[in-house]
Amino acid sequence: MKHKSRIRTGFSEFSKKLYINTKNKILNELNANEKDWNNPKWQLKNRISDVDEIAKYTHLTDEEYENIKNVSEKYRFAITPYYFSLIDFDNPNCPIRLQSIPSIKEMNENGELDPMNEEQSNPSGKITRRYPNKLIINVTNACPVYCRHCQRRRLIGNADKNTSKNDIDESIDFIKNHQAIREVLVTGGDALLLSNSRLEYIFNELSEIDHVEVIRVGTRTLVTLPFRIDDELASLLRRYKVQLSTHFNHACEITPEAVRAIDTLVDHGILVRNQMVLLHNINDDKYCIQKTNEELHRHRVIPYYLFHPKDVKSTEHFQVDISKGLEIMKHLEGRTSGMCKPTYVYNSPGGLGKVPLVPMENIEYDENGYKLTTWENKTVKKSYHNPND
């Protein structure tokens, strides 16, 4: 309980004040109103993407100013006014700040541009295929916010660009011709930056392929641009029975606006799962992971994966050791509902697929059977069972 109150959520009084203050400053500066603010197109058009814009809303030291300027010349940034308004600039380790504002640590270029070898697993169009029965179509490189830890940083480039119709059609043809494909993830970038009509075209084509049983969409708009989610979009997803994967990393991202977006989706019957990334200084704290997943569960989002961070170039400062993730998973046992426990996975380099990481100290065995350790460190025994006996 003590730790629970320590971790800020988007509903805490502090977060709400922070949000209102910065939001009002931005609206005044841009001579805009509440209706503009709630309009996703206005949010995208007014993304903060220049250090001088940041400096309009908060004091930056000369060093901070120079660092952001230098890094952003190499790796661009863009932040929706909404997400920017969640930043606590008085806290150098604010999770929103670390995920969205360029850091001088990005100049450390250790790591790989494409650790998952996605470029080499592209058989056609804009497909990435790492498994026999499921694949990804990358429909855009654009996102509302360019997360500093992104595994696809290499695709961000200098401009936002949606995948051409030609490449989409080629990808769909590939799926048509490969009967093993039962699940298609439409992602990017952020797939929900496509217009509804473009999304409908893709969903409609995929739904006409008999062997495609599941269509999923990868999006972070619930976190970075919740105004994109409305009844019209939710009805479209519902029509094609699309399932959704999103990416909350910290409880302070779970705001009233984000929950309105979640409610709109879930009330339309859309299954929403969360894929969190374990990130140093952002959420590598067992209580933070517990609280964030409990908040998601409370708001009807399924905590699905906890990804170990990938060795992406310029993101070494977000890396943690696997032992930290195992410690967190061990902590969750018995202390939270099984529904709040994601699967902790390591994505093998070179596109070799996911490896589930499970704390192993709970199970030992000898000639008599298994010795199992409960979450309270009590020991129980379970003998071997031979079904032929």
Where along the sequence are the contacts to ligand SF4 (CB under 6 A)? 143, 146-147, 150, 152, 188-190, 220, 247
Q: Which is nearer to ligand SF4, 144 or 303 (CB)?
A: 144
Min CB(245)–ligand SF4 separation in Å: 10
Min CB(191)–ligand SF4 separation in Å: 9
Q: Which is nearer to ligand SF4, 275 or 359 (CB)?
A: 275
Q: Which is nearer to ligand SF4, 152 or 228 (CB)?
A: 152
Indicate the pairing of strand 127-128 with strand 134-138: antiparallel
Question: Rounded to an integer, what distance in angstroms lies between the CA atom of residue 10 and that of residue 269?
Answer: 24
Residue 140 backbone dihedrals phi, psi, to 5 degrees? -165, 160
Is 325:365 a contact under the CB 8 Å cutoff? Answer: no
Min CB(136)–ligand SF4 separation in Å: 11
DSSP string, 337-376: -GGG-PEEEEEEGGGTEEEE----TTEEEETTEEEEE-TT
Q: Which is nearer to ligand SF4, 46 or 246 (CB)?
A: 246
Q: Spell out where the chain has E strands.
A: 127-128, 134-138, 183-187, 214-218, 243-246, 272-277, 302-307, 343-348, 353-356, 363-366, 369-373, 379-383
Q: Which is nearer to ligand SF4, 22 or 187 (CB)?
A: 187
Q: Which is nearer to ligand SF4, 81 or 188 (CB)?
A: 188
Min CB(33)–ligand SF4 separation in Å: 27
Q: Which is nearer to ligand SF4, 8 or 220 (CB)?
A: 220
Min CB(254)–ligand SF4 separation in Å: 16
Q: Which is nearer to ligand SF4, 209 or 284 (CB)?
A: 284
Q: What is the DSSP letter of 310?
A: P
- Pair of tokens at residue 242: 């699309």
Candidates 308, 223, 218; CA nearest to 260 is 223
Instruction: Return the SS3 of 1.
Output: coil
Instruction: Please report, as a single letter, which amino acid is at residue 200.
Output: E
**293: Cα within 13 Å, side-chain hemisphere:** 29
Candidates 240, 232, 245, 251; CA nearest to 86 is 251
**Cis before 334? omega within 30:** no
Min CB(221)–ligand SF4 separation in Å: 8
Tokens 């989610």, residue located? 229
Q: Which is nearer to ligand SF4, 54 or 143 (CB)?
A: 143
Min CB(379)–ligand SF4 separation in Å: 42
Contacts of 312 (CB under 8 A, 6+ apart): 111, 112, 113, 115, 149, 150, 151, 153
Residue 235 backbone dihedrals phi, psi, to 5 degrees? -65, -40
Min CB(75)–ligand SF4 separation in Å: 11
Min CB(218)–ligand SF4 separation in Å: 7
The CA dihedral of 83, 325, 7, 40, to the nearest 10 degrees, is: 20
Candidates 379, 384, 388; CA nearest to 366 is 384
Min CB(77)–ligand SF4 separation in Å: 10
Q: Which is nearer to ligand SF4, 102 or 189 (CB)?
A: 189
